[in-house]
Amino acid sequence: MIFLLPLLAAIIGWLLNSLALTLFFRRVFPKRQAQLANSIGSIVGKQLFSFNDIKTKLTDPEKIKKIIPLVEAHLDTFLREKLPKAMPVLSMFIGDSIVNQIKTHLVAELDTLFPLMIGQYLDNVQQELDLEKIVSQKIAGISAQQFETTANNLLKNELQSFKLLGAISGLITGLICVGISLL
């Protein structure tokens, strides 16, 4: 009977750690979810996300050059089709060479204007967008069941190791108790 003590202690250790995980996911997390959401929102809003980084990437001249062909195509359509329809008198004075000159000058101007427009747009977005609040609300909206399912899927091996650690510590405790009782 005394030799069943380590096995019983191992089972109890495994059960206690399993219970601890269940309590965490079903009791502790829901109670602390708002605080966790605010903390993660703060980290994302202040440390992980930078409007300056985004602004730098979006206003990069190489990125702007990649959209210029699209702009040129729209300008060509506008100058050759839409403008003459809107202002028929202009169609008498605007030929291919003038359209190409206007397009060349407009594209050169837009090459300078786009980074300024994008930068200004992002400045406005930054003032209106509270990323910290958005992330906090999203995390607060996650159900405890959804969090538990996701954690079980992502951390399956680690959670099993935690339960196994309970069994091993219980077994060791049981062996120590048997050793002490035999002395």
Please give the pLDDT value at position 166: 97
Q: Answer yes or no: are the C-beta atoms of 131 and 45 closer than 8 Å.
A: yes
Please give the pLDDT value at position 12: 97
Residues 11-57 pLDDT 10s: 999 999 999 999 999 999 999 999 999 999 888 877 877 778 888 88
Which whole number is the average pLDDT over 151-172?
96
Q: What is d(CA 148, CA 152) in angstroms, rounded to the nearest whole number?
A: 6
Please give the pLDDT value at position 54: 81
pLDDT at 93 over 90: no
CA-to-CA separations, 159 to 107, 115, 163, in angstroms, rounded? 59, 49, 6
- Locate 64 and state its tokens: 């702007």
pLDDT at 155 over 90: yes
- Locate 66 and state its tokens: 């990649």
Q: What is d(CA 24, CA 20) in angstroms, rounded to the nearest whole number?
A: 6
pLDDT at 153 over 90: yes
- How far from chain centre, in Å, is Cα 52? 17
Please give the pLDDT value at position 157: 96
Task: Of 137, 141, 155, give the one whose Cα is nearest residue 24.
Answer: 155
Which whole number is the average pLDDT over 164-176?
96
pLDDT at 109 over 80: yes
Going 82 to 83 to 89 to 95, the CA torsion angle's sign is: negative
- Locate 159 and state its tokens: 């959670």
pLDDT at 58 over 90: no
Q: Answer yes or no: are the C-beta atoms of 118 and 67 closer than 8 Å.
A: no
Please give the pLDDT value at position 11: 96
DSSP for 52-77, written as a single string: HHHHHHHT-HHHHHHHHHHHHHHHHH
With bands split at pLDDT 50, 70 and 90, how would you rate the model's confidence at 90? confident
pLDDT at 79 over 80: yes
Please give the pLDDT value at position 27: 92
pLDDT at 140 over 80: yes
Report the percentage of the chain scoring pLDDT > 70: 100
Question: What is the reported pTM?
Answer: 0.59
Task: Of 138, 120, 142, 118, give the one whose Cα is nearest residue 130.
Answer: 138
